[in-house]
Each structure stands twice: as structure tokens, then as C-alpha cells.
Amino acid sequence: MHLITHTMVLVAAASLALMPSMAYTQSHHTADHRFQDAEAWAKKFDDPKRDAWQKPNEVIQALQLKPDAIAADIGAGTGYFATKLARAVPGGKVFAVDAEPDMVKYLAARAQRESLSNLVAIAAEAGNPRLPEKTDLVILVNTYHHIDKRERYFRELQGALKPGGRVAVVDFTMESPVGPPPKARIAPDRVKKEMAGAGYTLAQEHGLLPNQYFLVFEVGMKKGEKN
């Protein structure tokens, strides 16, 4: 599977440029940095002020995960979403995937510190998220616009899903006052078209986020649709 392999980070300026084809983290503003000091970056990633517009608990609630679900958070960073997902599936498991070694180390330590035995830190390799088992859900937060050759990427991602598994895409709208420059953003209609080209159907579209779209896809096409 061709997944992105370097890490993008969260910084305080909304207009900083993105570097295409770099890897990801769950960020509200991004620039080309490496996560070489996870403790320092955690102060930005897990800033409680982010909750007001990212609404992580509402996002997770909308996904209606079963208590024993298996989920993968691609670009987990310091675990902003991953830890909340782990608490939402006490009988399941969450793979927190990141390419930066220091972030993976931080994720593992955080899981232990917060007694989240169902949160598993995964060190991604070039082109491989190294997920050890298939998942009910893959979530990508503020990540879609970093991915190159997206149709191929998401078609291959099907191999990481259980039958009936879903892919959730949360990313910035074209009008959002925060996030990457507009030229680096991907409009939701384009996401839908590309995901359809990769073999997915739009299952749900949530309008609960002020700065982002929130789309949920399933593998396969609706009855009557043609490829």
C-alpha cells in the first residue's frame, strides 16, 4: 500500500505553505517540519482550544463505532484523535499510525500512561502503514490533501478494511479561515469523485464541523451506478 511517509506538523500560522506529497498529521495549520520533539509538539496538537472547531467527540459519536471495533488513525501525531477513539471502543483496538519515530515512541508511552491497552502505536514504513490486522474504520483527519495519486492510494487501502469497513475523510473546506492555503486544499466534490474512482461509495456526509467537511465512504458502488 502506498501511504505517505514523512510527517507534517501543526503550527500557529494559518497561511504557511504545504509541501505536496509529504506525510501527515492531524493538524489545523501545517508546515514542513519533523516531529523530533514530540513533547513540545503535543502542546500544539492537544491544545484544548482545538476542540472548539475540530469537535473530536462529535466526530467519533457520528461514526457510531461498535465497542469492539478495530480502527486505524492514519497520521495519529500525538494521539489527539487516537486516544479518544480508543476510549470509544473499549473492547476493540485502535492502531495509531505515524511515520516519525519520536511520535510513535510518544504514542506508545501515552497509551501506557493513560492505561489505554487497546491503543497500539504503529511505525509506518515507506508505502506501508504496517497495519497488523484489518479494520472496521480508517480515519484520515486533515490528511487527504497531502496524498499523491489518491485514486490508487485509496484503492489499495481497501486491503486494510474488513468487509463493510469504512474510510472517514475530514479535511478543510475551501472557505475555512484556518488550514493550508486554498490552493493546497481539495474541495469535497473532488474528494467524492476521486473516491468513486477508487471504488468507494459515499455513505454519509456530516455537516457538524465549522471549518471542515466530514465524509464517510464504503467500498463498492450504489445499485444502478456504473463504473
Residue 192 lies in a domain: yes
Residue 188 lies in a domain: yes
- CATH number of the domain encompassing residue 94: 3.40.50.150
Asked if residue 69 lies in contact with residue 89, where contact means CB atoms within 8 angstroms, the answer is yes
DSSP 148-187: SSHHHHHHHHGGGEEEEEEEEEEEE-TT-SSSS-GGG---
Residue 226 lies in a domain: no
Residue 27 lies in a domain: yes
Residue 225 lies in a domain: no
Residue 121 lies in a domain: yes
Domain that holds residue 134: 9-219
The structural domain count of the chain equals 1
Going by DSSP bridges, is the β-strand pair 30-31/70-74 parallel, antiparallel, or unpaired? unpaired
Q: From first to last of the 227 residues of the chain, give the pLDDT tens digit.
A: 444 333 333 332 222 222 222 333 444 333 344 445 556 555 566 677 889 999 999 999 999 999 999 999 988 889 999 999 999 999 999 999 888 898 899 999 999 999 999 999 999 876 677 889 999 999 998 878 877 788 988 898 899 999 999 999 999 999 999 888 999 999 999 999 999 999 999 999 999 999 999 999 999 865 555 54
- The answer for residues whose C-beta is within 8 angstroms of residue 221's C-beta and 6 or more apart is 196, 199, 201, 227
Residue 113 lies in a domain: yes
| pTM for the predicted model, two decimal places | 0.81
